[in-house]
Amino acid sequence: MFIECIKTTRLFLDSKLIIIYNLYTVKIILCSVTLSGAKGLKIVKEILRSRRTLPQNDMEVNMPKKKTYHHGDLKNALIQAGVEILAKDGVSGLSLRKVAQKAGVSHSAPYSHFADKQALIAAISTEGFRQLYERVNRVVEEYKTKPSMQLIEVAWTYVQFAMDDPDRFKVMFSGVLEKEKEYPEFVAESQRNFQLLKMIVEANQASGRLRSGASELAALSAWGIIHGFVMLLLEGQIPHVILEEKSLRGLVEFQLEQIMLKV
């Protein structure tokens, strides 16, 4: 009875012994059988047939398999690798080759999704704005009948988003993406976020919590106040004495109180 049959490259027949010698795995498998007439020929044929289902070259046998991703996962794996490299080494340290290495794929794999590193940066930022919109929009829906709470909760969500993924957040607003208009998905996602903020501001203007006027400018002011606060927070520039006296949530509300009207 045969114990095992791997890729066979040489066959030595003996009246009492078949030796299957495998050059690639350096295995010798001994099978003690008695060969006689048609029975022996049948056994030999079975061995030869078994070879058809085995690897056809030594590369398949010996080469370790690289880490692979299911369909749809590769792009996200490359984006995450890019975020980590940018956070550590900056734009000058980013390359598709390094991204491929970090993601554990071949050097040519990133080119199936990104033409160059600028395209990768655009993808990182686009995905960031998409995630930000989803989180902010959930809050908008939850507080749609309470404009002032909506503004406060959206601002707090923005701060939490930055704290949850500071590396991506910094890339999104770093200005390292050149020729933004060449990346329509990035433009669409970033504008979608601003339009959502503009809608929140208009609701607060209508309720009398914010001054009337051009909603685009009012939205820019509100965003600038909270974004500036976030960047100071991420860079560790807020004095410790202030952080010890007030919670982050309290500090966010204080920033908004500077522009909100009492009713």
171 and 98 both lie in a single domain = no
Query: Do 233 and 143 belong together in one domain?
Result: yes
86 and 131 part of one domain: no
Measured CA to CA, the distance from residue 258 to residue 256 in angstroms comes to 5
Give domain status of residue 99, yes or no: yes
Total structural domains in the chain?
Answer: 3
Quick one: 131 and 209 in the same domain?
yes
Whether residue 13 has pLDDT greater than 50: no
What's the confidence (pLDDT) of residue 41?
Answer: 57
The answer to whether the CB of 262 falls within 8 A of the CB of 206 is: no
Judge if 147 and 213 occupy the same domain. Answer: yes
- Do 136 and 236 lie in one domain? The reply is yes
pTM of this structure: 0.69
Max mean pLDDT range (24-28, 31-35, 152-156): 152-156
Helices 147-164 and 215-234, interaxial angle, to 10°?
Answer: 40
Q: Is residue 55 predicted with pLDDT exceeding 80? A: no
* Boundary (domain end) residue, out of 18, 39, 62: 62
Residue 251 in domain: yes
**27 in the same domain as 56:** yes
| Residue 119 resides in a domain | no
Rounded to an integer, what distance in angstroms lies between the CA atom of residue 238 and that of residue 102? 34
Residue 150 pLDDT:
96
Spatial contact of 85 and 140, defined as CB atoms under 8 Å apart: no
Same domain flag for 75 and 20: no
- Minimum mean pLDDT range among 61-70, 102-111, 142-151, 249-258: 61-70
pLDDT in tens, 65-92: 445 554 458 888 998 899 888 888 887 8
Whether 78 and 152 map to the same domain: the answer is: no
Give the single-character DSSP code of 104: T
Q: Which domain holds residue 133?
A: 126-257
Q: Are the C-beta atoms of 170 and 235 separated by less than 8 Å?
A: no
Portion of the chain with pLDDT greater than 70, in percent: 73
CA distance 67 to 62: 16
Of the candidates 113, 109, 112, the residue with the CA atom closest to the CA atom of residue 101: 109
Residue 89's CATH number: 1.10.10.60
CA angle 233, 237, 243 (to 5 degrees): 65
Task: Report if residue 171 sits inside a domain.
Answer: yes
pLDDT greater than 50 at residue 102: yes
pLDDT for the residue 87: 80
Banded pLDDT at 3 (limits 50, 70, 90): very low
Please indicate, yes or no, if residue 246 is contained in any of the structural domains: yes
Gap between the Cα atoms of 219 and 245, Å rounded = 29
Confidence band of 33 (pLDDT split at 50, 70, 90): very low
Total residues belonging to the chain: 263
**Domain end residue (candidates: 87, 114, 141):** 114
Same domain, 40 and 141: no
Q: Is residue 32 part of a domain?
A: yes
CA dist., res. 144 & res. 196, Å (int): 12
pLDDT at 251: 97
Residues 205 and 162 in one domain: yes
pLDDT at 199: 97
| d(C-alpha 34, C-alpha 148), whole Å | 91
Judge whether 120 lies within some domain.
no
CATH of the domain at 191: 1.10.357.10
145 and 49 part of one domain = no
